[in-house]
Chains A and B, each alone.
Chain A
Amino acid sequence: MKKIVRISVTTLSLLFGFSLVTGAIAYGISSSENVVYYDAGMTSIVEHSKTAYETNENGQTFGSGKDVIYPEDLPDLISVVGDSGKKGYICSSELIGDAPSSLEEAVKIHEANNSGVYTPKVYNVYESDGKTIIDTFTETHIETLE
């Protein structure tokens, strides 16, 4: 009888300990999956970045675009490592670029990307003054999965 009680208590205790740890880890993992929603009016829930960037003598902000969600929160000059390995900055507005003006234009871009005729964009890499060119930064050919 004592043996049965001991085995039962041991089994239940093992299960309790197992559940305690796996449950806690599973909760931690599921809690870290943030899903952020926006309403139909595009009122954002994510706050705008409050990063205080450095400013050069020409009034341009410069720094990393790390963790920035809204393009308007990017610094004017975003830090890059150029084609020859030099650290510098490219214009964030050039990097993000203008959006197509129509759906037709977007589809043409898609067709051009997938035609095998790809001309990568090349950006000037500047010192933090936004004027002195020290390198280039070349975009890389993309691979699209649909």
Chain B
Amino acid sequence: MECKIVFSSLKSVLCGALIGAVCFVSPISANAGSVSNGASSAMSAYGHNYTAYNTSITGKLNNSKFARAYTNINAGENLPGGYMGVKPMLYYSDGSLWVAGDWDYSSSNSSGMGVGVSRSGFSGTPSIYSQGYARIWMGTGYWTYGTFIAPTLNDYTV
């Protein structure tokens, strides 16, 4: 009888684990290959705190495949114009640069900005990742640093 209960409990634990795995993994799988975010990096400079990160997006819009990179920076407070700048870039998974945008800088009273570049109308389903550069005002000049990579995507089905 005890063995039966233990066996039944083990079955229930396994069932619960299976349900948990399905509940958690399903939404992740549904989104996999369409959006990825890189890890955030946080900086302090000239009395202000900044967080920067990159986002990669792939997908299909009006039956046309597209790939997009965003470089984002946030200060969490309104700052004078020009305090923040970013430059987004999109790479093939082998590390070759595919698309690069120019630098843009924050306008007056901005607390953050995101700058994106896109490419569409390409053939195949290239595996891509994104990484950008950020600039923050240091009082007498800028400090430039790269964001962490937003992981590789190659899903253009949605």
Contacts and interface: CB of A to CB of B under 8 A. Distances in A.
A137 B117 CA distance: 15
B61 interface: no
A121 B17 CA distance: 54
Interface in B140-158: 141-146, 148-149
Contacts of B138: 42
Nearest to A92: B97
Given A103-B83, A110-B81, A142 B13 contact: no
Interface string B94-124: 1111111111111110101111111100000
Nearest to A145: B114
Contact of A103 (B41, B43, B137): B137
Nearest to B143: A42
A111 to B, nearest CB: 8
B96 A17 contact: no
Nearest to A88: B96
A145 B115 CA distance: 6
A100 B82 contact: yes
Interface string A55-66: 000000001111
Interface residues of A, number: 69
A133 interface: no
A109 B144 contact: no
A113 B102 CA distance: 9
B44 A96 contact: no
Contacts of B116: 142-145
Given A26-B24, A143-B115, 20 more contacts: A6-B5, A13-B13, A20-B13, A21-B24, A35-B42, A36-B41, A40-B44, A42-B43, A64-B96, A70-B146, A107-B81, A107-B82, A107-B107, A109-B104, A109-B105, A139-B101, A140-B100, A144-B104, A144-B115, A146-B106
9 contacts: A25-B21, A35-B51, A65-B95, A79-B97, A81-B97, A81-B98, A104-B82, A106-B85, A139-B102
Interface of A: 5-6, 9-11, 13-22, 25-26, 32-40, 42, 46, 63-71, 78-81, 87, 90, 95-97, 99-107, 109-110, 113, 120-121, 137, 139-146
